[in-house]
Amino acid sequence: MEVREFAHGKMELDHWEVEGIRLGHALVSFKGEDVFLGGNDRDTVRLHFGLKGDYDFYARELRASYALRGDHNNIMYAEGLQLEIHNKSPQIETFGVEFTKDRFFQIAEKGNEPLKRLAEQIASGEPAILSAHWRPNTLRIKQLIREIIHCDFTGPLRALFLQAKSIELLVLQADLYAKKLDRAYIRTDQDKRKLFDARDLLSQSLDGPPTISSLSKIVGLNEYKLKKGFKELFDTTIFGFIHQHRMQKAKRLLLDTTKSAKEIAYETGYSSPQHFSRAFKKEFNTTPNRMRNTPDNAI
């Protein structure tokens, strides 16, 4: 891990390189609000993922400013990308995958319409971005990034793993941006921020999430807009979000700790081990104990 100090904070950076692909994970800590200059002079196509923290940034080559909140992604290209980042949180965590242009073109020519359109813009030599509207990271995108950061493979297997996961991230983004962005219920940035607040509250209270009525009052959105806007922004219902995150948390606890299935059931908010076991088997087509004893089948 590389640590870089700057006037008002520090950046911890890990990066990995495989054939035609460069991956990087950064955690930037600030002492207060500051403007941080970042970027590089590489001629690459960058998949950018915000994992934590709020910040504004100005991309000079794109001549565009964006106000972003943790959990977002997009794809950008410029021959050298210079960013001015104004943090709104004490920490910002990001993850990036950079493809050489040739590597990206090889993949994009077999991709969907958003990828092909972006490839055409890049081929013209002009700076380009996949969409002016940044999308929230899906649960699967976040899982993939965690798998890359915590990869235990070494040697040729590690290189193969990183290549495969990088391409999978690109495929997931291409699919995400192919879906129509219909802002029927999210009309303002304030509404969007309240929905992110609702999602964060749910993530922090999986063992006992607030009711929709309580959540509505906490974030300041009526129940109808909360439910419809949540589905519109995160592509899942509130109950679907809770279920998905409970299941993924349960899976991690089974594979990474020695806690019993009973302990995990209560920790993830289920009223009984039997209810938890039924939900788990329906989600993963195996029981909690079998997943723990045969982890290779759980991936």
What share of the chain in percent tops pLDDT 70?
A: 97
Split at pLDDT 50, 70, 90, the class of 14 is: very high
Query: Is pLDDT above 90 for 77?
Result: yes
| Stretch 42-56: mean pLDDT | 92
Nearest to 249 by CA among 146, 102, 96: 146
Query: Is pLDDT above 80 for 180?
Result: no
Instruction: Report the distance separating Cα 209 and Cα 223, nearest Å.
Output: 15
Instruction: Report the distance separating Cα 290 and Cα 205, nearest Å.
Output: 27
Q: What is the pLDDT of residue 94?
A: 94
Encode pLDDT of 243-257 as tens digits: 999 998 999 899 889
Split at pLDDT 50, 70, 90, the class of 125 is: confident
Q: Helix (H, G, I), strand (E, B), or coil: what is residue 85?
A: strand
Q: What is the pLDDT of residue 31?
A: 87
Residue 207's contacts (CB-CB under 8 Å, 6 or more residues apart) are 266, 267, 268, 269
Residue matched to tokens 């964060």: 200
Query: Is pLDDT above 80 for 169?
Result: yes
Q: What is the pLDDT of residue 297?
A: 46
CATH class of 2-178: mainly beta
Cβ-count burial 209-243 (b if 16+ within 10 Å, e if not): bbeeeebbeebebeeebbbbbbbbbbebebeebbb
Query: Is pLDDT above 60 for 298?
Result: no
Q: What is the pLDDT of residue 223?
A: 94
Residue 106's contacts (CB-CB under 8 Å, 6 or more residues apart) are none
Q: Label the pairing between strands 2-6 and 35-52.
A: unpaired
* In the chain, domain spans: 2-178, 182-201+212-232, 236-299
CA distances from 156 to 36, 77, 167 (A): 36, 29, 17
In CATH, which of 3.40.50.720, 1.10.10.10, 1.10.10.60, 3.90.1150.10 is domain 236-299?
A: 1.10.10.60
